[in-house]
Amino acid sequence: MFKLIFRRLITLPFVIIAITFVTFAVGYLAPGDPILTMMGARHDDALYARLRHLYGLDLPFHEQYVNYLSGLARGDLGLSFRFQGRAVWDLIKDGVPVSVGLGGLALLLSVVIGIPTGVLAALRQNQWPDRGSMALMVAFYAIPSFVLIPILQWLNYQAFSHVWPSLPPAGWGTASHLVLPVLVLSAASMGYIARLTRSTMLDTLRQDYIRTAYAKGLHDRAVHWRHAFRNALLPVITVLGPAVAFLVTGAFVVENLFAIPGIGFLSVQAIQQRDYPVIQGTTVILATTILIMNLVVDILYLILDPRVHVEG
């Protein structure tokens, strides 16, 4: 097991370097001159040369990239084009806890609701709890977030107009602001986890060792939870890493439509304003987060599956 974890830790820095190279190359090859965009209508050759030197744009590509990597090693993400002289990290740091909190709650809700719903559906196969819950989960999985958001906002407005309990339509800062964004962000992954849990649980319940457990006279509860559930959970754990990636991409839509000041909101603004250092900084942070979560999922899988211990 430790050999497998060590190999994954060794490859992690190389993957991060590859991501930084691609994002940096895209910014370098993008059309237009960011310095001219910063200067606007003002055209001063001396100022233009000074700004290019300040941002290191007067150097060849390989030197710019090496400087960028050395800055990353020190925790320096560079300077923003739009906010002249401001460090990228100063712009991003306030959005990191917002996005982490939003994504963490969405992932937790996906697991806490998705797994029990899938187990219940499997244990009540073809009965109304199965059909009703799976119909709802399929709807959550199929409806895009940019469609689900106006539906929920319309329902919330109807509650507000009838003087019923309602939620803030947008913004950030209180627990009530969390409800709609977290629900929207977790909907698709919740539906997928529930459907996958049902499928793997049904497959596990058909295995020979389950029939053997019943033949020994074990109670249904012991068979379901002690023998079936743990093995059925293994495929579900493997999708938690991709689920984090799905939540990250979904955060771009959710944070912008709900006006949440997270990394996704900042990234979209940076794309619109062609602020390449901010785009590169947010991309590196989000990609590193996904890689670390995938590593955590791999470690959990190694712990829960004893067969991997033997192979490692």
Quickly count: other Cβ atoms within 10 Å of residue 186's Cβ.
Answer: 28
- Do residues 71 and 79 make contact, with C-beta atoms less than 8 angstroms apart? no
- Classify 33 as helix, strand or coil: coil
What does the pLDDT read at residue 311? 45
Per-residue pLDDT of the chain (312 residues; tens, 9 = 90+): 567 777 878 888 888 899 999 989 988 888 877 878 777 766 778 888 888 888 888 889 999 999 999 988 888 888 888 887 788 999 898 888 999 899 999 999 999 999 999 999 998 888 998 999 999 999 999 998 889 999 999 999 999 888 888 888 888 888 888 999 999 999 999 999 999 999 998 888 888 877 787 787 777 777 777 777 877 888 888 888 778 888 888 888 899 989 899 998 998 888 888 888 998 899 888 888 888 888 888 787 777 665 555 444
Instruction: Of 256, 244, 265, give the one whose Cα is nearest residue 110.
Output: 244
Query: What's the whole-model pTM score?
Result: 0.83
- Distance separating alpha carbons of residues 47 and 38, to the nearest angstrom: 11
3-state DSSP helix/strand/coil % of the chain, to nearest 5: 80, 0, 20
- What are the structural domains, with CATH classification, of the chain? 2-88 (no CATH), 95-260 (1.10.3720.10)
What does the pLDDT read at residue 66? 92
Instruction: Of 298, 239, 232, 294, give the one whose Cα is nearest residue 1.
Output: 298
What does the pLDDT read at residue 79? 87
What does the pLDDT read at residue 85? 73
- Distance separating alpha carbons of residues 9 and 16, to the nearest angstrom: 11
